[in-house]
Amino acid sequence: MAVTSDVAPDAGNRLEDLVETAHRIRRAIESVIEGKAEVVRLTLTVLLAEGHLLIEDVPGVGKTMLAKALARSIDCPVRRVQFTPDLLPSDITGVSAYNQQTREFEFKPGPVFANIVVGDEINRASPKTQSALLECMEEHQVTVDGVTYELESPFMVIATQNPIEMEGTYPLPEAQRDRFTAKIAMGYPEPTAELEMLDVHGAAQPLGKLEPVATTAEVRALIRAVRAVYVSQAVKKYAVDMVTATRRSPDLRLGASPRATLHLVRGARAHAALSGRDYVIPDDLQELAVPVLAHRLLPSLEAQGQRRQPEQVVAELVRRVPVPDTN
Amino acid sequence: MKLPIAAGLATGAVALTLYSLFEGGAWFWACVGTLVVTTAVGALASRFAAPRWAAPLLMPVAVTVYLSATFAKEHTWAWLVPTKASALRLGELLAEGFADIQRFAAPVPAEPGVSLLTASGVGLIAVLVDLFAVRLRRAALAGLPLLGLFTVPAAVLPEPVAWPAFVIAAIGYVGLLVADGRERLTSWGRAVLVRRTRTAGADKADSGRLALSGKRIGATAITLAIVLPALLPALSPDPLFGFGVGNGSGRGGNSIGIPDAIAKLSGQLSQQRNATVLTYTSGDDRPRYLRIYALDVFDGKKWTVSPLRGRPEDRVSEGPLPPPPGLGPGVATNRVESRVSVSEDIDPLRFLPLPYPAVQVDADGDWRADQASRMVFSTRDDAAGLDYRVIVNEPHPTRAQLDVMSTPTPDARFLALPDLDPKVVAMAERVTEGGATPYQKAVLLQEWFTGKGGFSYSLETKGSGGDALSRFILIGRTGYCEQFASAMAVMARVIGIPARVSIGYTGGTKIGKSWSVRTQDAHAWPELYFDGAGWLPFEPTPTGAVGQGTARVPDYSLPLTPDATPSAGPSSGPSSEDDDSAATGGPSRRNPRDFDRDLGAVPIVVDEGMPVPAKIALGAGAVLLLALVPALARALVRRRRYALVRRGGARPAVRAAWAELCDTLTDLGMSREPSESPRALARRLTEMYEFDADAAAAITSIATVEERMRYAASPPAAGPGPSDLPRVRRALAGAVRRRRRVASRFAPRSTLLRVRAAGTKLLDGFDRLEGIRWRPLSRSGAGTR
């Protein structure tokens, strides 16, 4: 895990490549989604951290557009699943169908067999279908009729969901939310960005013009580089402190899981790499704390009564947990 | 701790301070018994919720039973119940005790009478303390009887109470207050909690924290009470006349001591403010040395007084004193009456300055004479402002008489000497080899000091230390009356003449009709004993302009051939000055007491001592210096860190730069969030205080290397640039107001906070100490929780 001396010179180059490639992808996505630099950066972070992203917001702010733009800018297979209440698990994983000619059951891969899977309005599907996605997300594999099929790397699920108050939605269970590395909200665009959007998108479909700027192999190399980013003992302890604080906070009914700690540190590695650093600093963790932790937490009744969202609670905890001083 | 027990312990702690009043420990056990009895009665009365008035009534009864059973066992019924006979016996013993106390000066032998008296007194105090603290719940008021008890040794003994004894007494009182506070607090919870706590043991949790702060305050107060007087020169009790608490030199109280009487003298002599100590008139209008102390014990370093005895019948008001020791019938005497009036402004003085040998003293108050030494002292009254009459019977032996007198010592201690440098002994013998009789030897000795020995007079000499004496005699030969008197007394003892050192004043100068004695007339001189004439003063100290101004050499001590001692004769006067200074060589500077020549004039020479404004300025300067210590410490730390940064070794440089940055922020009152990483801090400061590009680059560089040091796999190759730190400091200082900037320099908060942290740690240490003691007690209750 640590950057040892024989890897170090190479790591420097790789890091520069990484920053360069990441920058290309970002520019490509931003040509489609205006004024959402932070969201784009976080999306890339999650991709490089081998995680999955949950985008929650009201309809029409560009959730699907973001997912598609990412997929399109990397030259890799992209599948999109529109979740509906009648969607079945096999619609996601694929089915074994009997081939009359060969007289054998033949596996028809579902949409999950791709590098990037866009799950639209995931909370419209029934829990059964939702959970079918889980195995794929966590284990990077699909089991159908007792046969296990490996998924290709990189594998990233970008799920979008409407706020749970909206009609016809099933809230995602905690267990499922926990598997997403980060949850972000798109938010409405700034008036100027929206104006620009009208100019650019008014006439043409920008997605169509988007050319791939990176290959799958390149992305895999990037992920390897991220894995090599150094995390000092002090920073690891800081991550644990932060997660522990969510478990102890009186404002939270459910704290963050150990998986959250893992996701946090992985995300921090990617974040550090994207900043061109080969080591993680507390600032990386601080920036990721809200998107990585907040969606897994349940506010206590008191916090609910005071209308304090988990996002606020986490932001407060980040301000309270002291940064580690020495190694 | 239960309140009645705390009250008993407090009384016991204060009673411990009585130790120096007694010889032997019998009194102590009697007191312990009394306290156990009173405490037990008090505890039982509280346990069974007896009415308030019960305990104060029961306690004296119990104490009486206890004392009868202890001191008059054979007269009690069944060895316990007091009878009429036992009561009478106790009365007798009490009377004996009173008599003993009247008869003996402290320390009093702890005879049964004295022990009984003490135990009764302590019992009475215990009853009062219990009444105030436990029955009336006014624990603070209980301090009054305790204070009364504490003042007994402080008032009776001329020596300060040793500070450990004071600490124990104070802790006893604080313990009582703490117990009271705790009781008060737990009583609020009694209805709901306390019953349960008997079994559940949960009551300590409530009051613990409050008691903790109480204990901290108590510990701090006691520490301050001891340390502060020691630190402030103005509050430190004068070792010569001091009777206060707090002097660390408590010596166990065997003698009414004047520990450093002699060493104190140079301070008196060099005082700029040459105040009048006393004035006197004498019947024959001649000056006389006024003696305060006679020091008879020499331990090699200093002279001290052997224990004094002042019995009631030795009161000077009882009539004339017996004839002075050693005075034979053949010697002519001169009976002279003097009237002395002591200034009101002097320090407390419990000894009377008297000419020797006084045969009658008429002074108001309880003044007692020590028979052997003729020192007149009091344990109660003060000489300040006192007017008294004294009659001396001055011996005037002729030389012929003196020549035939032998020198048997009236007491072995007047000849006792510690191990001396053999050269001193040889010197004494060599100097006096020409003398055929003890008297001639004494004269030769004095002559050696005043002329032949080449001694010179100077106040500069330090008069203490182990070999100071032999240094003075053999090598330096420079000193003032202290050294001269001490050396002559020692050498006289070497050649077999009983000798002692007197401390007091010279005869002073005549102003108008009376003689005026001033601070700078303080003097020391030897007295030698001749059987038939008694104790005769000698004067080895150079007199006149180059010596002790008002000192006078007695006629009988002058050598037969006047030309041998050109400087010693009082009549030789100014004409001899030149010879003398030529003869003595050495430092022939002006004598501070020159002004004695022009009587009453304002002192002219000011090369020693300093005027009052200067003293105030010096004090203020010292306070200022003290106040600047944190600033100084901070400056030193900063310098060291700058040096580390300049030296450049990556790790120490980075650490030093970061620590300095943090301390600077603290000093300037800029906040630092605990969750702020180096990078975030640098960013915030840059934005908040609008750093220019240089400063921003500097702080970023400091933060970056610190960050790498903390979190990266490999530490940074080099520290921050040497100019980064000063640049950031300037930028930060420029962002705050001038007042804050100055304050940060002179009272740096980072240093003060560190001091406070150290203090907290110390107090934590106290708490831990206590925790060690009490854990087993609370554990037994907590175990069932």
Q: Evaluate if residue B425 carries a pLDDT over 70.
A: yes
What residues contact B556, with CB distance under 8 A and at least 6 apart? Answer: B396, B397, B398, B399, B402, B536
Interatomic CA distance for residues B458 and B452, integer angstroms: 17
Give the model's pLDDT for residue B265.
Answer: 54
Of the ranges B271-285, B336-350, B464-478, B482-496, the best mean pLDDT one = B482-496
pLDDT digits (tens, 9 = 90+) for A109-161: 888 888 888 888 888 888 888 878 877 888 888 888 888 888 888 899 988 88
Give the model's pLDDT for residue B462.
Answer: 55
- Whether A26 is in a domain gets the answer no
- Whether A264 is in a domain gets the answer yes
- Whether B409 is in a domain gets the answer no
Tell me which residue has tokens 């001269």: B484
**B167: domain range?**
3-235
Please identify, among B208, B235, B262, the residue that sits at the C-terminal boundary of a domain: B235
Q: What is the identity of the amino acid at A317?
A: L
Contact B424, B491 (CB under 8 A): yes
- Whether A249 is in a domain gets the answer yes
Give the model's pLDDT for residue B431.
Answer: 86
CATH of the domain at A314: 1.10.8.80
CB atoms within 10 A of CB B451: 20
Task: With CB atoms and an 8 Å threshold, state whether B711 touches A235.
Answer: yes
pLDDT digits (tens, 9 = 90+) for B578-634: 333 333 433 333 343 333 333 333 333 334 456 778 888 988 998 888 888 889 999
Residue in A closest to B711 by C-alpha: A232
Question: What is the percent of chain A with per-residue pLDDT over 70, rounded to a whole number?
Answer: 93
Interatomic CA distance for residues B66 and B59, integer angstroms: 10
Q: Evaluate if residue B270 carries a pLDDT over 60.
A: no
Backbone angles phi, psi at A2, to 5 degrees: -75, 155
Q: What is the DSSP letter of B364?
A: S
- Whether A252 is in a domain gets the answer yes
Nearest to A298 by CA among A260, A262, A247: A247
Of the ranges B108-117, B561-570, B690-699, B714-723, the best mean pLDDT one = B690-699
Q: Say if residue A310 is preceded by a cis peptide, omega within 30 of 0.
A: no
Residue B774's pLDDT band (cuts 50, 70, 90) = very low
Please identify, among B200, B235, B270, the residue that sits at the C-terminal boundary of a domain: B235
Residues A241-249 have a mean pLDDT of 92
Which range has the worst mean pLDDT, B168-182, B409-423, B601-615, B670-684? B601-615
Residues B732-754 have a mean pLDDT of 88
pLDDT digits (tens, 9 = 90+) for A159-207: 888 876 667 677 788 888 888 999 988 888 888 888 887 877 766 677 7
Interatomic CA distance for residues A319 and B780, integer angstroms: 43
Task: With CB atoms and an 8 Å threshold, state whether A279 touches B712.
Answer: yes
Indicate the residue of B673, B674, B711 with minimum beta-carbon distance to A281.
B711
Q: What is the identity of the amino acid at B314?
A: D
Tell me which residue has tokens 């006014």: B138
Q: Which three-class secondary structure string do you get for B503-543? A: EEECCCEEECCEEEEEHHHEEEEEEEEECEEEEEECCCCCE
Give the model's pLDDT for residue B1.
Answer: 56
What's chain B's average pLDDT? 77
Q: What is the identity of the amino acid at B34?
A: T
Give the model's pLDDT for residue B122.
Answer: 93
CA A235 to chain centre: 22
- Whether B179 is in a domain gets the answer yes
Residue in B closest to A285 by C-alpha: B677
- Whether A137 is in a domain gets the answer no
**A324: domain range?**
230-327
CB < 8 Å to B708, chain A: 279
Residues A224-241 have a mean pLDDT of 92
Give the model's pLDDT for residue B32.
Answer: 93
Q: Evaluate if residue B577 carries a pLDDT over 60.
A: no
pLDDT digits (tens, 9 = 90+) for B623-653: 888 888 889 999 999 999 999 888 877 788 8
* Count of domains forming chain A: 1
Question: What is the percent of chain B with per-residue pLDDT over 90, rounded to a whole number?
Answer: 12
- Residue of B662, B704, B711 to mutate, interface with A, max A Cβ within 10 Å: B711
* Count of domains forming chain B: 2
Token pair of B731, please? 């930028």
Backbone angles phi, psi at B388, to 5 degrees: -150, 160
Nearest to B380 by CA among B159, B139, B595, B157: B157
Q: Which stretches of chain B sit within 8 Å of chain A by CB?
A: 673-677, 679-680, 707-714
- Whether B229 is in a domain gets the answer yes
Q: How far is B710 from chain A (nearest CA, A)?
A: 5
- Whether A302 is in a domain gets the answer yes
Give the model's pLDDT for residue B464.
Answer: 53
pLDDT digits (tens, 9 = 90+) for B379-419: 777 787 888 888 888 888 888 888 888 888 778 888 888 88
Strand, helix or coil at A276? Answer: coil
Residue in A closest to B658 by C-alpha: A325
Give the model's pLDDT for residue B699.
Answer: 92
Indicate the residue of B673, B709, B714 with minimum beta-carbon distance to A319.
B673
* Full DSSP string of A99-134: ETTTTEEEEEE-TTSSSEEEEETGGGS-HHHHHHHH
What's chain A's average pLDDT? 85
Q: How far is B678 from chain A (nearest CA, A)?
A: 9
Task: With CB atoms and an 8 Å threshold, state whether B708 touches A279.
Answer: yes
Strand partners, B530: B534
pLDDT digits (tens, 9 = 90+) for B7-39: 999 999 999 888 888 877 888 999 999 999 999
Give the model's pLDDT for residue B44.
Answer: 92
Indicate the residue of A234, A283, A325 with minimum beta-carbon distance to B680.
A283
Q: How far is A286 from chain B (nearest CA, A)?
A: 9
Give the model's pLDDT for residue B636.
Answer: 92
Interatomic CA distance for residues B293 and B265, integer angstroms: 12
End-to-end CA distance of chain A: 17
CB < 8 Å to B677, chain A: 281-283, 286, 323
Residue A232's pLDDT band (cuts 50, 70, 90) = very high
Residue B106's pLDDT band (cuts 50, 70, 90) = low
Comparing B461 with A137, which gets the higher pLDDT?
A137
Residue A288's pLDDT band (cuts 50, 70, 90) = very high
H or E, element range at A215: strand A214-215
- Whether A6 is in a domain gets the answer no
Q: Evaluate if residue B201 carries a pLDDT over 70.
A: no
| Residues B509, B510, B513: CA angle, nearest 5 degrees | 155
- Whether B779 is in a domain gets the answer no
ipTM: 0.83
What residues contact A276, with CB distance under 8 A and at least 6 apart? Answer: A15, A16, A19
Tell me which residue has tokens 């035939």: B404
Give the model's pLDDT for residue B565.
Answer: 40
Contact B389, B342 (CB under 8 A): no
Indicate the residue of A230, A282, A327 with minimum beta-carbon distance to B677.
A282
Interatomic CA distance for residues A225 and B612, integer angstroms: 79
Among residues 113-142 of chain A, which lie with CB inside 8 Å of chain B?
A: none
- Whether A134 is in a domain gets the answer no
Which range has the worst mean pLDDT, B90-99, B339-348, B542-551? B542-551
CB < 8 Å to A230, chain B: 712-713
Backbone angles phi, psi at B132, to 5 degrees: -70, -50
- Whether B625 is in a domain gets the answer yes
Please identify, among B235, B267, B284, the residue that sits at the C-terminal boundary of a domain: B235
Task: With CB atoms and an 8 Å threshold, state whether B674 touches A235.
Answer: no
pLDDT digits (tens, 9 = 90+) for A58-79: 878 887 788 888 888 888 888 8
Nearest to B536 by CA among B547, B544, B525: B525
Residues B333-349 have a mean pLDDT of 82
Task: With CB atoms and an 8 Å threshold, state whether A232 touches B711.
Answer: yes
Task: With CB atoms and an 8 Å threshold, state whether A283 touches B710.
Answer: no
Task: With CB atoms and an 8 Å threshold, state whether B713 touches A283.
Answer: no
- Whether B155 is in a domain gets the answer yes
Give the model's pLDDT for residue B609.
Answer: 52
- Residue of A283, A284, A320 to mutate, interface with B, max B Cβ within 10 Å: A283
What number of C-beta contacts closer than 8 Å exist between A and B? 52
User: pTM higher than 0.95 for the full model?
Assistant: no
Dihedral of CA atoms B243, B245, B247, B253 in degrees, nearest 10, equals: 60
* Full DSSP string of B479-504: E-HHHHHHHHHHHHHHTT--EEEEEE
Q: Evaluate if residue B445 carries a pLDDT over 50.
A: yes
Burial of B638 (0-12, 13-18, 19+ CB in 10 A): buried
